[in-house]
Structure 1
């Protein structure tokens, strides 16, 4: 039986054929700026590496740029934060369930952390409550975290509310961690804005939004959040489509502005097929913003 983590590793292996894996590892390693590091070895320079890490003497001897690789003296803690409410059972823009996309994204980031010797924990839940799974190392632990998300995000779950999980982190988590948030297309509001600014003072935060399905992509729409249905003739109405598009654009603009003002880097993803490239771009933008 193929495990969830095996699917993640297979996706990363395919990506490695198109781009050097060191690029993705390097972008992840840049998130914790200023952490204590020990020299490990040298590797070939790839686009995206910091120029300051080039070993110029070794480069001169070798004839092409070489980068110094380091290992962390102490492990960092990565908290995967996601909504497992019934919104995540809905279909995303790429045609897959948001749950499957979330599991892939959490798995990729978690596996990068594992490869760097960091420990990974999970904060997940819905509007009815939040559960924390402690941060540990190892592939078996990461598989457990992914299975928890996969099994709890369903149409039978309570309503979605990522604010509940973020509030739980703000109230209970001590120390400085990397928070990787995977969420639905949420709308900005003053309370969430204050919460994010509070969290950003303490933590590094990466935010990945899973895109909603297009209004015209299905013959009949079913509202997972409130169990309502939208008949096909309404979904295909030009007036309804225009109003929906405008509302979605306003919601996206508000969320992007809220996250930007809080100093949080956001990326978006439509399906499992573009999770790797979306995460690479997210990590790269976070490094440049810092």
Structure 2
């Protein structure tokens, strides 16, 4: 895992939420039937993702359906308000984000996988909410922590701040020999799978290293009973200056970093490992996307949620 030196300053990275409103309309949760059956209350409705029961009113945001505007309340308050409906069966997501030292590395576009992971979690949670789902976000280092499923701006911000805390801890512990963080992501998933979570989809945000550390039997057991979505942040290519090993924190010498022979060997090895990981995910029935640039995050989320298996 290659990267550039991270500083210890607190992270605060957020996507442009307003720009996500229109893309969120493309999400249709086509595999909803795998999560719940008729006994759980799932059935088709002419109103996509909602019932006729009014839950509350909220301020209009760009991308909302104009048919949902409550004109009486809007004229009374002077603000454009839209109706929120109680979902027939709300979809629930658990976003499990790898916050190990491997995520401190860089991507091909030069951005850190840490930044991409936070933006992906925030964007996916926001877009799923717009599509009528609830969620919680769990960092790979948060042993055993689970919260209520919810949504809304305040809830999302609290979840992201907790996630940033996990990444900041990884930065502080990077390079320390006693910091055994490499298996936390795998252990967290095992704890989650062992807990009773009816009708909850898992959405993993990690990289190639994180996927390779997962037990194949664990992935199969997840896909047997619930949907599994995976976003992988691709590692930076070999052949630039001022790079270091994200696992050890040791800088790579200029002589090695510009070695064409070393670059070819690492590129071929990465391609082989990535092909193996993709075969395993595909065989288990998981939906996945590989992200090479932060600009691809929104499109990748839509593809993976719509079962866009590559």
Pick from 36, 41, 44: which aligns with 2:43? Answer: 36
After TM superposition, give the deviation of residue 228 of structure 1 in Å. 2.3
Pick from 122, 136, 143: which aligns with 2:157? Answer: 143
Q: Following the alignment from structure 1 to structure 2, what is the Cα–Cα distance between the partners of residues 121 and 222?
A: 33
* Match in the other structure for 1:156: 172
Q: Following the alignment from structure 1 to structure 2, what is the Cα–Cα distance between the partners of residues 104 and 206?
A: 16
Pick from 101, 115, 124: which aligns with 1:109? Answer: 124
* Match in the other structure for 2:101: 86
Q: Report the TM-score when normalising by structure 2.
A: 0.71
Q: Following the alignment from structure 2 to structure 1, what is the Cα–Cα distance between the partners of residues 291 and 144?
A: 24
2:261 is equivalent to residue 239 of structure 1: yes
- 8 A Cα contact 2:92 2:134, kept in partner: yes
After TM superposition, give the deviation of residue 239 of structure 1 in Å. 1.6
* Match in the other structure for 1:176: 199
Do the aligned partners of residues 205 and 8 (structure 1) sit closer, same or farther apart at CA in structure 2, a change above 3 Å counting?
farther
Q: Following the alignment from structure 2 to structure 1, what is the Cα–Cα distance between the partners of residues 281 and 13?
A: 30
* Match in the other structure for 2:241: 219
- 8 A Cα contact 1:40 1:71, kept in partner: no
After superposing on structure 2, the runs of 4+ consecutive aligned residues of structure 1 that deviate more than 3 Å are 128-131, 187-191
Secondary structure at 1:225 match in 2: coil
Q: Give the number of the structure whose residues are more often helix, by fraction.
A: 1
Do the aligned partners of residues 31 and 103 (structure 1) sit closer, same or farther apart at CA in structure 2, a change above 3 Å counting?
farther
After TM superposition, give the deviation of residue 134 of structure 1 in Å. 3.0
After TM superposition, give the deviation of residue 163 of structure 1 in Å. 1.1
Written as runs of structure 1 = structure 2, the 5 A alignment for 1:258-269 is 258-269=280-291
Deviations 1:17-52 (A, max 9, x none): xxxx4xx434343241374243228xxxxxxxxxxx
Paired residues in the alignment total 247
Do the aligned partners of residues 150 and 120 (structure 1) sit closer, same or farther apart at CA in structure 2, a change above 3 Å counting?
same
Q: Report the TM-score when normalising by structure 1.
A: 0.76
Secondary structure at 2:182 match in 1: coil
- 8 A Cα contact 2:109 2:292, kept in partner: yes
Q: Following the alignment from structure 2 to structure 1, what is the Cα–Cα distance between the partners of residues 224 and 302?
A: 24
Deviations 1:163-214 (A, max 9, x none): 1221111111421211111001127669610100011111111100001111
- 8 A Cα contact 1:8 1:107, kept in partner: no
